[in-house]
Amino acid sequence: MTTQPDAERVARVALTWLFEPGNRVVWELVRQVGAVEALGVLLGKGLPDGRLRATVAARLAAGDPRRFAETALRRGGRLGARLVVPSDPEWPARVDDLATLELDTGGRIDQDTRPPLCFWVRGDPPLGETLARSVAIVGARAASSYGVHVAGDMAHSLAERGWTVVSGGAFGVDAAAHRGAIVAGGRTVAVLACGVERPYPVGNTAMFGQVLEQGLIVSEWPLGAEPLRHRFLVRNRVIAAATAGTVVVEAAARSGATQTMGRVLALNRPAMVVPGPVTSAMSVGCHAILRANPYAHVVTSADDVLEDVGPIGEYLQETPRGADRERDGLDEESSLVIEALPARGASTPEEIAAATGLGVRAVLRRLSFLELAGLVVRRGEGVELAGIAGRTKPFTPGKAP
C-alpha cells in the first residue's frame, strides 16, 4: 500500500512547478496563509497579479500541478530522494535569511530572492547538520591549472578539519572543490539548478556518485526540471545563504561566481576572494570584487578561510613573517655599523664612523657588542663581517653594552 503524500508537501512541490523558486509574491503568500491555501489562491480565477496569472495559465496547459507533485513525491521516494520543508528538523535555518535579502539591481532574478519553499535531497546525512559548518567554494568553469589546484587544496584542508564544502557541481573550480573534499574523506554538497535525479553536467556523473557517497545532492527544483540558464543564477542565492561564508577562486569579468558574491555581501556573510595573476582573464572578476567591496577579504589558504568563518578565537593565526635572522634583534646603532661594513674586506672604526655618522667612541662600543655576538671579527687595525667559520656562538638578541 502506497502512503499518500501530505497536503503541505504536495502544495510546496506544486508551487515550485508552477513558479520559479524565490518568487517574492508566492513566498509571501505561503508565509501568510500556508502552502495549501496559497496554492488554492494561485489556482483560482481571482488572482490579481497579471504576471502570475499568465504563468499559471501557461503551466496549467502542461498538466495538473497537484497530480504532478504527488507523482514526483512517489517517484522521489523510489529514487531515494526526499523532500525537506521548513517544518522538518533537518531544514537549514540559514536560508531563511533570504527573507530579508534586498538587492539594488533590477530584473526578476535580483528581485525574486526569497527563501526556498522546499529542497529535494539525495544522500544520507541530515541537510541542516551538514550545512551547519559549511563553506562554499565557487569559481570559473574554464578554470586554469592554478584555480583547480587552489580550489582542490583549500577544499581538502577544510574537509580535513570537519567543514563541509559546498559548490555547484560544474566543471572547473566547482568540481575541484568537490573532489578535494572527497579525497580528504570529508562531506561535500552539490547544489543543483535542475532535478536531483539528473545531475548536471553529465560529464561529472562519476563525481556526483562520489558526492552521494560522502555528502548530498540538493535542489529546489522538482524531479525532471531542466538545467535552464537562468536557474543557475536563481540557485546561487541558496549557495550564498546556506553556508557560513563563500570563497571565489577564479571568476571572469561577468560570471555566476561574481553574482553569487553579490548575494554573500548583501547577506553580510564572509566574502572571501583568492587573488590571481593580473594577466589572467580568469582573475578579472576576483580583483574587481576586491576593488569594489571593502568587506571582501583576500584569502590564500584554508587557514585564512577558517579565521573568517569559524567561531571567534577558534582559528586565530599568527601574523605571517619570514624566518628569524641573526641581525633581527640589533639596536639601531648596531644595525648601522653592520650595514656600513663591506661584504668583503675590513673597515677601520674611523671609516665606519664616517659612513654611519656616529662618533668613533659609539662605533667602538657597537663593535665590541657585535664581536661578542659573533657578527664581526677584528682583522689587524680593522673589522670585517664574520663568516660562518668565524662565529663562535649563535646570536641571541639582548641589551647592548
Above 60 in pLDDT, residue 401? Answer: no
Of the pLDDT bands very low, low, confident and very high (cuts 50, 70, 90), residue 59 is confident
What is the predicted pLDDT for the residue at 393? 43
**How far is 129 from 182, CA to CA, in rounded Å?**
18
**368/183: higher pLDDT:** 183
β-strand partners of 377: 384
Above 70 in pLDDT, residue 314? Answer: no
Above 70 in pLDDT, residue 320? Answer: no
Q: Which pairs with CB-CB distance under 8 Å and at least 24 residues apart come from 370-374? A: 370/334, 370/337, 370/338, 372/401, 373/326
Q: How far, in Å, are 49, 51, 58, 75, 114 from residue 39 at the CA level? A: 14, 16, 16, 21, 17
CA dihedral 212→216→219→220, nearest 10 degrees, is 150
Average pLDDT over residues 258-285: 94
**How far is 133 from 310, CA to CA, in rounded Å?**
9
Burial class (CB in 10 A: 0-12, 13-18, 19+), 332: exposed
**307/373: higher pLDDT:** 307
% the chain with pLDDT above 70: 90
Of the pLDDT bands very low, low, confident and very high (cuts 50, 70, 90), residue 310 is confident
**How far is 137 from 237, CA to CA, in rounded Å?**
14
Place of cell 557541481: 169
β-strand partners of 37: none
Place of cell 545532492: 217
Above 90 in pLDDT, residue 61? Answer: no
Domain spanning 332-390, CATH architecture:
Orthogonal Bundle (1.10)
For the chain, which residues make up each domain, given as ranges? 1-70, 80-309, 332-390
Of the pLDDT bands very low, low, confident and very high (cuts 50, 70, 90), residue 379 is confident
Segments in 193-294 forming alpha helices (H): 205-214, 229-242, 256-266, 284-292
271-273: strand order across its sheet: 81-84, 119-122, 216-219, 188-191, 164-167, 134-138, 246-248, 271-273, 296-298
Cβ 401 vs Cβ 365: under 8 Å: yes
**320/298: higher pLDDT:** 298
Place of cell 577562486: 249
Average pLDDT over residues 184-196: 97
What is the predicted pLDDT for the residue at 54? 85
Q: Which of 128, 185, 179 is nearest to 160 (CA)?
A: 185
Average pLDDT over residues 27-55: 86
Cell numbers at 390, concatenated: 668565524
Q: What's at 332, amino acid-wise?
A: E
Strands (E), 174-231: 188-191, 216-219
Q: Which of 139, 144, 209 is nearest to 168 (CA)?
A: 139
Domain 80-309, CATH: 3.40.50.450
Lowest mean pLDDT among 113-122, 190-199, 354-363: 354-363
**How far is 67 from 319, CA to CA, in rounded Å?**
60
Average pLDDT over residues 324-349: 83
Query: pTM for this structure?
Result: 0.81
Average pLDDT score, the chain? 89
What is the predicted pLDDT for the residue at 86? 97
**How far is 123 from 197, CA to CA, in rounded Å?**
12
Average pLDDT over residues 72-100: 96
Strands (E), 1-84: 81-84
**Backbone region of residue 123 per phi and psi (left: phi > 0; alpha: psi in -120 to 50; beta: other values):** left
